[in-house]
Structure 1
Amino acid sequence: MTRITPEALYRLLPAVHRLRDAGEGGPLAALMAVLAREGAVVEENIEQLLDNLFIETCEDWAAPYIGGTIGYRALYEVEGVQVGTRAEVANTIGYRRRKGTAAVLEALARDVTGWPAHVVEYFQVTATCQHMNHVRPGHALAPRLSDPLPLESLDRAFDRTLQTVDVRSIQQTVSRRSLGGRHNFQNIGLWLWRLMARGSTRMPVTAVDARRYLFDPLGAPRQLVNLPLPEATITSISRPEHVPGDISRRALDADPALWYGADRALALYLDGEFVPVSRIEACDLSDDGPGWNHSPHTALPEAELRLREGTPLPDPLLPPDPPNAMIRIDPVLGRIAFPDAETREIRATWHSGFPGRIGGGEYNRARTLTRDPGQALVLYPGPDHVTLQSALDAVAAEGGIVELTANEVFAEPAALRAGAGTEVILRAANGLRPILRPGGPLTLEGGAEARLALDGVTVEGAPVEIGPDGDGASPATVTLRHVTLIPGLSFTDTGAPATPNATSLAVSAIGVELLLDRCITGPIAMDETTNAEIRDSIVDAAALVPRESAAALAISGPGLEGDPAGALTIRASTVVGRILARVFPLVSDSLLHARSESGAPVRAIRRQQGCMRFSFVPHGSVTPRRYRCQPQLAIAEAVAEAEEGGPVTDADRAQIIARVSRAMRPGFTSQRASDPAYLQLRGVAPREIRAGASDEGEMGAWHLLAAPQREANLRIRLEEYLRFGLEAGLFHET
């Protein structure tokens, strides 16, 4: 459809009116511009009405209405998650035609939850007697112990080992440690991968020495995971290459081309050149004293190699054997070993597991990468600036944006400074994960009414310090969005915090409005006048032993241990460690995992102001009034139940409090920031915490994933698509 422009509409007027209008300053031309703008709005709306007739192009609000024409039943809305009804409505008719088949159940699980899924029909892996007229050679009761690769999937999604009948209900299973009730003829298992594959494209590697390297530029061991391939047909059942599962050493050895490649889960580049798969060898490179197991030896000349092995020299008339120059990769530890000292630049593409899109990375952040008209934009690296600091200095006086445009480790000092009334932003371009290694504190300074922001970057080895400028003026606002300030400042070679309990973010400026949005950070020390909002983020005290992190200080004042932080607003976040603040205006849908041998784990100086709602707040905390918080709510219910049988003494009340407090604790899959399932709630965690938020989601930073709602939607759909007589169970592979 041709767009109506002001010029085209103006030319429709008679020439006499246009000449007269030009002489009077163009009021008709201005009117035509207004009419054209409003006409464009109507025209666009007409086009959208046509698009709304089709599920592929309709707006989100129209998808349920299109589904209503085919009898589609709407599910619970999941806000903020890339899960919707569009794909399910588009495939509903096809699903109904193949209702009850394993392929439909698997595709349905993917569409409804947004998680990769695999369906297991347990009658196929239940041990049965075979009829001699229908012998199934692959239906062997005992596994082949000589082939260890299939045994790696034991008690997991792709386990094909036969087991005897289990008559317990498959729906009673809540974790992989209690997998009873699966193997029976009427049972269907739906395995879900909740961790996404977080990519790192052509990132620098960490050198241990001239021959040994780590995939992770932060120096932590990483379990590499698969980048899922699309399935060939809609009627097929997923295989390991179709899900973001862990890559094992034996799997990489069995078929390197399935996992290694320029468009696959991992790849190596030397001076920008792709290393072919023929040079890659899977190996166990775990620690062996000061070195690594099975590190490749230096490539020897062919004659010397034959002499050492005691084998005859090759026939000169035959083609030579390939050189002994294999590069060994350990996908379990994320390690690389070269046969010789490597002098070329080494980069790697790899993927690791992570629960969600926080802390920065190569996921889509386009919605937050805005730019005001006339705002300066400086790209770095670029021809105009040789250092990052020079790029930041270029926008310090008038304000502007410095955008990092490469997956690099920027090991150079940097300081953000903003003049009075200006805004300075240091951010990563969309789809990138740059790392700042400043060598000293990364300082953020600003004059009066200045605004500073970090977006999409990872800071390693140093804290971020927010302070006044040279004249003593403080910035008005500081925003950290999609930022990782590594808990413990950096990682050791085992993935532990290198500097336990070290402050990651220090605010010494006065009166700063601080916002942390989808960030991961270590302990925070802020001035008492700071007003901080923590949203969809993780604050980790990062003790050397993870279970001791809850006893360390996570948020407090910048001075002695008794100094409080400012006003804290915490929304849908996880804080591991003790908190001491001036006031809590609002704590909602959050998980404050803290303990203290003496004193309150979470303490507010002013208790008359603020509110805590739908959150986990440790017993014994000194806080404002709480509404439906745990374990307080569970304690009140247990006491009320005990009072129905008669008066409850103080001793009985203390016993109830101790019993409920021990049971009502959050359980995490891992509390180490370098692990894939970082602060992910375990399946055996109390349901009051896993589904105790205001929208019946889980408390804490992963509230944004809406995991309980997604599982509830899948169970609703199974009632419609599961064949009569069958029973389904949901299992978390990750």
Structure 2
Amino acid sequence: MSHDADRYEAYYAQKLWQLLPELYRAEDSPELDRKGPLRELVERIGAQAAIVRRSIDRLWEDQSIETCDDWVIAYMADLLATNLVPGLDARGQRRDVAKTIYYRRRKGTVPQLEELAADLTGWDVRGVELFRRLGRTRHRLDPEVGGPHMEPALRVAQGLSGQLTRTAIGGTADLRSHSGARLAHTAFDEFFHTAEVRRGQGQTGWYGIPRLGVFLWRLQSVPLEGVTPVRDATCENQFTFDPTGRDIPLFAASARVYGDQASPPAEHQFPAPISGPLLQTAFAELYAAASTLEAGAVVDHSLGIYRRAPTGFEHQLVEYDPANPQLTADPRRPKPDYLLLPERGRFLRRNAEATEDFRVNYHAGFSSGIGAGGYDRRQPGKLTGALDEPLGLVSAGGDTLALALGTGPLSGTVLIGDSLTYTSGFDVGVGPGPFTLRAENHQRPVLRQQQRPPGAPASDWTFTGSTTPEGAESELFLDGLFFCGDDVVLTGTFGRVVLTTCTLDPGNPPDDGSEPPRAADGKPLVPCRLRIRGQVRELEVDRCILGPIRTEGTGTLERLTLVDSILQAPPGEPALNLSGTDVRMTRCTLLGRASVHRFDADTCILHDVVTVMDNQHGCVRFSAWATGSTLPRRYESVEFAPRRSLFASRAFGRPDYAQLLLTAPTSVSEGAEDGSEMGAFCREKYALKARALRIKFDEYMPIGLSPVWVYVT
């Protein structure tokens, strides 16, 4: 928001100007439409008066931790003697101060430690007293486990036996339950173990008397509603939930409750991949329409399938009936109507007709709000999209977007109101002035063209800019869009092109250079490139996932600015091929080679060789770079071998895509200026949050216990 949105600066400048004698005002400037030095001085004084007025207006809000400015948080922490963690984000510090007394009243309890960790980090957390998972001989002071007077449900409620395996507390494991056995060595383990004397770290040293296991789920579960599934070309009864035709694991929605309403959490309440056995045991909790109203509360269920009959107009939820489960995740059930395969992100429809139309809701896992997705794309203090009325609202999928755009020239805003797949390419002209093509917040429309017959020409998404004799240039804004398969082409003249929270599918090319894998419908998973064939003065990329960017023919790009983004190119192709461009990257991960004219990098991971032609300008600071690169001066940066193993996965579509390994060197995982990790996920502050947990747990842990940190995702 602009500092002058309240008009205080103009108000005080005009008020002071009117207080001056008319003689001085008239002598200030001989021209009525020009400001003289006296008027300039008065306006500067008015700006300072506006600052004082805003400070006075904020005094009342600064009395409360919920509404105070960020700089006030430290002073309120001093009043409560809160051990405030330096470097933690404002959200975590604010909640720490707001709940200090609340934490101290419940100090040392497992629910309090779980809630403290969740408030500081925003992650889902479960604490397990691992000394309770020790196998031992029971004595007469222990409560009776069995007996005819105690029902199995009562034994489970009292913690005397496992819910799935019925294993008695401290006793021998009952391995007859597959669903219970797969939970061994997890946060939901129902078995008991011999004591370990090793130090509690990672996957070792869990089971001992002074051990408290703290299980952390760092990945986010992103909801996607009303998505067009992809029919398998080799098996017409199979469909993928993912609209690009990939096999991806389905995630459970985060439904953990803390505070006074907290109860022992179940596995399906945490943002993690849904396994087949989990879906079988918790089908009713995981499957339903997203964001339905139950008992006065909104419950965000994990997945749902909607079917439209050939004669119908609306999609209806395929209901789940426990008494007649024709919708199931158990492949052993004979001939179900629908079979869900959550590990692959697929469902099977028995005897599916070619005319049947489906929509799906599901959750996908990812590390951060980067790229197109169903999350809240807004940022504090920033406006999303244009303020003018949209030229049109598109919400039907298919070729409706191409029909709505036409051929141009276009100005204003076109809004896409759903997460359907749009299957037609377009070549539109952008008139002088701004043109915005954006998705509604919490929506992720996919632009993925239909499979073309062999030999058919490519049909890209082309935007053609223009300019007027007076010098007005086109401006293009793309927000929240997912481009898949074909390329995005910029032709003509653009003064400015801005991509915000967009995804240009980088594809899944194999490292050995063989033929790329194909989606379920047979379309190859190739990179979607951003090709510049015209003249673009400035290209801005904010929180995006992109394939290669390059200029072609007579195309030119003067300046490229990338912030909080991931760029990936297939082997043998540069991620950036911009010979005459000034490139500035901040908190980015570059997976591929690059060749640019000038280069600035701040808190980046340059995973492959980068060649910069002008080394006299620019700087690479707090970044990781590959050996063999030609870079300008470097400051507090780290060198490693090209394409070193740093990431949990480089395959786009995986939940851990571009996430740093837990074994990554500290110089990278804590190498940013503020102590967080380098690269695109610096914004998540993983290292700072982990440090905050260690500091706060030292304050609130019971005497004699030590935490064991276990990162589940």
Same fold (TM over 0.5): yes
Q: Would you say 1:283 and 2:329 are equivalent positions?
A: yes
Rounded to whole Å, the distance in 2 between the matches of 1:552 and 1:144 is 54
Q: Would you say 1:206 and 2:221 are equivalent positions?
A: no
1:382–1:266 Cα change, 3 Å: closer
1:450-529 alignment runs, 5 A limit: 450-468=474-492, 474-488=493-507, 492=517, 502=527, 504-526=529-551, 527=555, 529=557
Aligned match for 1:100, one of 108, 113, 118? 108
Given that 2:216 and 2:711 are in contact with CA atoms closer than 8 Å, whether structure 1 keeps it comes out as yes
Aligned match for 1:186, one of 207, 210, 219? 210
1:215 to partner: Cα distance = 1.0
1:437 to partner: Cα distance = 2.2
Residues 342-376 of structure 1, C-alpha deviations (whole Å, 9 max, x = no match): 44421111101100001011211234554666x45
SS of the equivalent of 1:419 reads: strand
Match of residue 16 from structure 2: none
Rounded to whole Å, the distance in 2 between the matches of 1:667 and 1:43 is 51
Match of residue 148 from structure 1: 178
Q: TM-score, normalised by structure 1?
A: 0.75
Amino acid of the residue matched to residue 601 of structure 2?
V
Rounded to whole Å, the distance in 1 between the matches of 2:408 and 2:384 is 17
1:267-416 alignment runs, 5 A limit: 267-271=304-308, 272-278=315-321, 279=325, 281-283=327-329, 297=335, 326-342=337-353, 343-367=355-379, 369-370=383-384, 375-381=388-394, 387-393=400-406, 396-397=409-410, 399-416=411-428
1:67 to partner: Cα distance = 3.8
Rounded to whole Å, the distance in 1 between the matches of 2:690 and 2:375 is 24
1:232 to partner: Cα distance = 7.1
1:74-93 alignment runs, 5 A limit: 74-79=84-89, 83-93=91-101
Match of residue 607 from structure 2: 593
Q: Would you say 1:680 and 2:665 are equivalent positions?
A: no
Q: Would you say 1:733 and 2:712 are equivalent positions?
A: yes
Q: Would you say 1:250 and 2:277 are equivalent positions?
A: yes
Amino acid of the residue matched to residue 305 of structure 2?
L
Amino acid of the residue matched to residue 253 of structure 1?
Q
1:208-247 alignment runs, 5 A limit: 208=232, 209-231=235-257, 234=260, 236-247=263-274
Aligned match for 2:465, one of 433, 438, 446? 446
Aligned match for 1:617, one of 621, 625, 636? 625
1:572–1:537 Cα change, 3 Å: same
Rounded to whole Å, the distance in 1 between the matches of 2:181 and 2:349 is 30
Rounded to whole Å, the distance in 2 between the matches of 1:347 and 1:532 is 38
1:517 to partner: Cα distance = 0.9
Q: Would you say 1:573 and 2:595 are equivalent positions?
A: no
SS of the equivalent of 2:92 reads: coil
1:495–1:207 Cα change, 3 Å: closer
Q: Would you say 1:536 and 2:591 are equivalent positions?
A: no
Rounded to whole Å, the distance in 2 between the matches of 1:365 and 1:253 is 34
Amino acid of the residue matched to residue 378 of structure 1?
L
Residues 424-470 of structure 1, C-alpha deviations (whole Å, 9 max, x = no match): 111001111111124621112211321112110001121111122xx
Rounded to whole Å, the distance in 2 between the matches of 1:248 and 1:467 is 47
Structure 2 runs not aligned, ≥5 long? 1-48, 146-159, 161-167, 292-300, 309-314, 451-458, 468-472, 510-515
Match of residue 436 from structure 1: 447
Match of residue 640 from structure 1: none
1:52-131 alignment runs, 5 A limit: 52-79=62-89, 83-131=91-139
1:500 to partner: Cα distance = 6.9
1:407 to partner: Cα distance = 1.8
Name the stretch that deviates more: 200-209 or 185-194.
Answer: 200-209
Q: Would you say 1:719 and 2:698 are equivalent positions?
A: yes
Residues 170-208 of structure 1, C-alpha deviations (whole Å, 9 max, x = no match): 2xx2x5xxx112111101111111100011112121112
1:686–1:498 Cα change, 3 Å: farther
1:60 to partner: Cα distance = 4.4
1:484–1:99 Cα change, 3 Å: same
Rounded to whole Å, the distance in 1 between the matches of 2:523 and 2:648 is 21
Rounded to whole Å, the distance in 1 between the matches of 2:508 and 2:402 is 21
Name the stretch that deviates more: 153-162 or 348-357.
Answer: 153-162
Residues 596-617 of structure 1, C-alpha deviations (whole Å, 9 max, x = no match): xxxxx21111112211111111
1:502 to partner: Cα distance = 4.4
SS of the equivalent of 1:631 reads: strand
1:697–1:392 Cα change, 3 Å: same
Residues 55-96 of structure 1, C-alpha deviations (whole Å, 9 max, x = no match): 4454544444444332222223445xx842333333222221
Rounded to whole Å, the distance in 1 between the matches of 2:259 and 2:622 is 44
Residues 511-558 of structure 1, C-alpha deviations (whole Å, 9 max, x = no match): 43111111111122125643211211111113xxxxxx4x6422114x
1:216 to partner: Cα distance = 1.1
Rounded to whole Å, the distance in 1 between the matches of 2:696 and 2:521 is 42
1:503–1:686 Cα change, 3 Å: same
Given that 1:296 and 1:337 are in contact with CA atoms closer than 8 Å, whether structure 2 keeps it comes out as no
1:386–1:218 Cα change, 3 Å: closer
SS of the equivalent of 1:699 reads: coil
Amino acid of the residue matched to residue 628 of structure 1?
E
Rounded to whole Å, the distance in 1 between the matches of 2:174 and 2:276 is 19
Match of residue 190 from structure 2: 160
More helix by share: 1
Residues 267-322 of structure 1, C-alpha deviations (whole Å, 9 max, x = no match): 1111221221214544367xxxxxxxx7974xxxxxxxxxxxxxxxxxxxxxxxxx
SS of the equivalent of 1:506 reads: strand
Given that 1:419 and 1:446 are in contact with CA atoms closer than 8 Å, whether structure 2 keeps it comes out as yes
Given that 1:461 and 1:489 are in contact with CA atoms closer than 8 Å, whether structure 2 keeps it comes out as no
Match of residue 23 from structure 2: none
Amino acid of the residue matched to residue 152 of structure 1?
R
Name the stretch that deviates more: 231-240 or 488-497.
Answer: 488-497
Match of residue 556 from structure 1: 577
SS of the equivalent of 1:120 reads: strand
SS of the equivalent of 1:568 reads: strand
